[in-house]
Amino acid sequence: MTYKSPRRKLQDKLAKECMDLWQQIVKKRAKYKCEITGQKGVIHAHHIWHRRNFPILRYNPHNGVCLHKDEHYRLHKQGEGELMGVLIKQRGQQWFDDIMETKRNNEGYQYTVEILQGIKIGLETMLKGIK
């Protein structure tokens, strides 16, 4: 087992809590149904731009879409070409422009404990505000 400092353990815990909140927001915002097919059932919160490639978007709910598990698997297998068109139609061009601007600021982004604490508070507030 690899040693982790107490600070690193806290950082990992906060990162998991933030990801859990992100998933809850994406699903609740979509009223727990697939944003592509409208299906209910087993749904997944999917990152539109991959969280490993664009860490600055990892906890941004605007970078999330709620998908039925079958649609989610299909997208990963066949590609996501049509997804962006559907989302721009649903969410508007301004959504796309805003997320692209954030995406451009991705280089070297790091999640410190302090940043994760702030993100967690923001996500908790956002979750409470979704009807």
Average pLDDT value for residue range 18-30: 98
**What predicted TM-score, i.e. pTM, was given to this entire model?**
0.88
Flag whether pLDDT at 84 surpasses 90: no
**What residues are paired with 44 via a beta bridge?**
67
Residue 128 counted as domain residue: no
- pLDDT tens-digit readout, 107-129: 777 899 999 999 999 999 999 99
The whole domain housing 51 covers 15-123
Residue 94 counted as domain residue: yes
C-alpha–C-alpha distance, residues 123 and 62, integer Å: 12
C-alpha–C-alpha distance, residues 128 and 48, integer Å: 23
Q: Please, is 127 exposed, middle or buried when counting C-beta atoms within 10 Å of its C-beta (0-12, 13-18, 19+)?
A: middle
Q: Please, is 55 exposed, middle or buried when counting C-beta atoms within 10 Å of its C-beta (0-12, 13-18, 19+)?
A: middle
- pLDDT tens-digit readout, 41-77: 999 999 998 888 888 999 999 999 999 999 998 888 8
C-alpha–C-alpha distance, residues 54 and 48, integer Å: 10
C-alpha–C-alpha distance, residues 90 and 70, integer Å: 21
Residue 130 counted as domain residue: no
Residue 7 counted as domain residue: no
Residue 9 counted as domain residue: no
